[in-house]
Amino acid sequence: MAPTQEEQDGRDADSLYSLIEEEVLPLFHDRDERGIPQGWVDRIRASLASIGPRFCATRMVEDYVRGAYRVPETRSS
């Protein structure tokens, strides 16, 4: 952690830009004979497999229903 939030924000930004420049963009621009960025597609598939279930519409609707229709707990005295 950096001493200040601003310094940490700068470090996080530098890290993000490095990741994009050094890993993401090369995958996107490296295309096979059909023009498909296979490395990019593989990365997308891996991301969807690992985080997709947490961000799908079904899960969001289930969370909404649980929150909106929650019956308050009753306490017995």
pLDDT in tens, 11-64: 999 999 999 999 999 999 999 999 999 999 999 999 888 887 777 888 888 888
In which domain, by residue range, is 60 found?
5-68
Whether residue 13 contacts residue 21, with contact meaning beta carbons closer than 8 Å, is answered with no
> What confidence score (pLDDT) does residue 72 get?
52
CA 40 to chain centroid: 15
Instruction: Let me know if residue 26 belongs to a domain.
Output: yes
Instruction: Let me know if residue 49 belongs to a domain.
Output: yes
Number of domains in the chain: 1
pTM metric for this prediction: 0.57
Instruction: Let me know if residue 11 belongs to a domain.
Output: yes
> CA–CA separation, 49 vs 46, rounded Å?
5
Instruction: Let me know if residue 77 belongs to a domain.
Output: no
Which tokens belong to 14?
């530098």
3-state DSSP call for residue 68? helix
Instruction: Let me know if residue 48 belongs to a domain.
Output: yes
